[in-house]
Amino acid sequence: MPHKGACLCGQTTIELNSTHPEQIVCHCLDCKQTSGSAFSTNVLAPKKDVTISGPVKEYNIKAASGNTDFLMFGGLPVTRVFCSNCGSAITHLTAAFGDNQAIQTGNFSDFARIPITTELFVKDRWTGLAAIEGAAQVKAMP
């Protein structure tokens, strides 16, 4: 089933023409800073199935998690894409994802009903947050 979402101001829209029966939570520092919260929620979607329309800005960074201890993508650059009007995080891309890109699911109302099956970087999870029941718990990046 396709998914349609938008940033906070509505000027940037995202359409996923692929099915996503599960999603991922990431607790790495970069995802926390990008989301402005304790974690981010994401799916990996084929680039060919993603359409982003509206004003965006890209930010390139070499390390994720903000620290040298993080080599999530083997030190490969990560491109983070935001709405250039309201700043909502839209997606991030790296060569480590191959033909896929990570899409932030907080921009889609229907992802509230899609289960979270994996938590990444649980070593960095805030102590006040419990593990998600039934989700795989991955210490860093697989």
pLDDT tens digits, one per residue of 28-61: 888 899 999 999 999 999 999 999 999 999 999 8
Cα separations (Å) of 1 from 18, 49, 52?
Answer: 6, 12, 17
CA distance 1 to 63: 33
Residues of the chain with pLDDT under 50: 64-71
Domain limits, the chain: 3-137
Q: Which CATH number is associated with domain 3-137?
A: 2.170.150.70
| pTM across the whole model | 0.87
Residues 12, 45, 125, 116: is their CA dihedral positive or negative? positive
Amino acid 1: pLDDT: 72
Amino acid 66: pLDDT: 41
Question: Do 29 and 37 meet the contact criterion of CB atoms below 8 Å apart?
Answer: no
Amino acid 96: pLDDT: 82
Q: How many other C-beta atoms lie within 10 A of the C-beta of residue 94?
A: 19
Q: How would you classify the pairing of strands 100-104 and 89-93?
A: antiparallel
Amino acid 2: pLDDT: 86
